[in-house]
């Protein structure tokens, strides 16, 4: 698995993952008295993963505190009927260990049939980041994705990964997501190629909405600082496609959203510093098993 091997080496060294375009979130009519989304405090690190066991349906904010360079990619999934936690663990590990393109594509489709991925927060050690997601009543799992990635995370034995059950009930009125300063959308262009589009702006410590408007493809949004102003989108695409050369982004400053199933969204709040950022995706395409950014899903933006 050339691209994942490339990613693993970089992450280990640097501390460490054509629809209508959607703009800023519309006003929520009739919800003026709805409280803000409840906050679930989650801690992830080398020796412990702490998370609540219950919450109410509606908008919920995952507030993730990361204390290790080998953790910090925490998401929530909803298991499909009949799927056990053990099956989910096995299938997710199979996805991240698959190497041949046909195996990657098969494992990706199996995972899509196993669970709905509802997003979360991905960030480097020593900071706190929020991801507000929408949860329906039912059984969910909170997990540390890096535990399933060989050469990147803590490397626990199968079955010992950070995964915790989360029961979502209908008790209570539910919450509302924060109003974003911009909307980042993952979509396909007219030719079917993966793209990112930004409406509005990305501002430090302000909410940013991430929407997966792709037709059947899981999407993520990873934001990395770009120290060199001469770096272009083409340079980053070439790197993700496997061309030799130094990394065009600072992988040690990783921020962003964990995988989202098509038709879902999350609102992120990340402690960013001013400067250029690249928005990329390591998710493998269902058509050729290459990272989506190798197929052109890349966006450069500047945070004032």
CA distance linking residue 286 with residue 262, whole number of Å: 13
Phi then psi dihedrals of residue 118, to 5 deg = -110, 5
Token pair for 154: 């803590």
Average pLDDT for residues 130-150, to the nearest whole number? 97
Query: How many of the other CB atoms lie within 10 Å of CB of 201?
Result: 15
User: Are residues 122 and 255 in contact, defined by beta-carbon separation less than 8 angstroms?
Assistant: yes
pLDDT tens per residue across span 198-207: 999 999 999 9
pTM: 0.88
pLDDT tens per residue across span 10-31: 333 333 333 333 334 444 444 4
Half-sphere exposure of 229 (CA within 13 A, CB side): 2
DSSP summary character for residue 190: T
Residue 32: the pLDDT is 56
Q: What is the dihedral of CA 187, 215, 285, 12, to 10 degrees?
A: 60
pLDDT tens per residue across span 92-104: 999 999 999 999 9
Residue 215: the pLDDT is 95
Mapping DSSP to helix (H, G, I), strand (E, B) and coil, where does residue 197 land?
Answer: strand
CA distance linking residue 268 with residue 148, whole number of Å: 23
């Amino acid at each position: 698995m050339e691209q994942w091997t490339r990613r693993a080496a970089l992450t280990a060294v640097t501390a460490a993952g054509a629809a209508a375009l959607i703009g800023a979130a519309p006003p929520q009519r009739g919800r003026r008295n709805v409280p803000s989304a409840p906050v679930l405090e989650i801690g992830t690190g080398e020796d412990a993963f702490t998370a609540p066991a219950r919450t109410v349906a509606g908008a919920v904010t995952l507030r993730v505190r990361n204390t290790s360079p080998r953790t910090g990619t925490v998401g929530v999934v909803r298991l499909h009927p009949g799927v056990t936690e053990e099956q989910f663990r096995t299938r997710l590990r199979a996805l991240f260990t698959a190497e041949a393109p046909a195996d990657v594509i098969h494992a990706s489709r199996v995972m899509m049939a196993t669970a709905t991925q509802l997003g979360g927060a991905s960030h480097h050690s020593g900071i706190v980041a929020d991801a507000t997601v929408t949860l329906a009543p039912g059984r969910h799992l909170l997990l540390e994705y890096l535990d399933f990635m060989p050469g990147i995370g803590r490397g626990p034995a199968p079955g010992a990964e950070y995964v915790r059950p989360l029961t979502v009930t209908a008790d209570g009125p539910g919450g509302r997501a924060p109003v974003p300063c911009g909307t980042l959308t993952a979509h396909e262009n007219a030719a079917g190629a993966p793209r990112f589009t930004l409406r509005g702006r990305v501002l430090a410590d302000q909410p940013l909405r991430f929407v997966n408007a792709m037709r059947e493809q899981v999407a993520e949004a990873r934001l990395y600082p770009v120290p060199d102003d001469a770096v272009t989108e083409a340079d980053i695409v070439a790197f993700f496609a496997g061309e030799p050369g130094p990394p065009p982004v600072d992988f040690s400053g990783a921020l962003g959203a964990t995988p989202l199933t098509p038709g879902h969204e999350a609102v992120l709040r990340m402690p960013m510093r001013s400067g250029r950022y690249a928005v990329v995706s390591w998710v493998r395409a269902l058509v050729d098993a290459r990272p989506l950014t190798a197929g052109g899903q890349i966006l450069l933006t500047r945070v004032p």
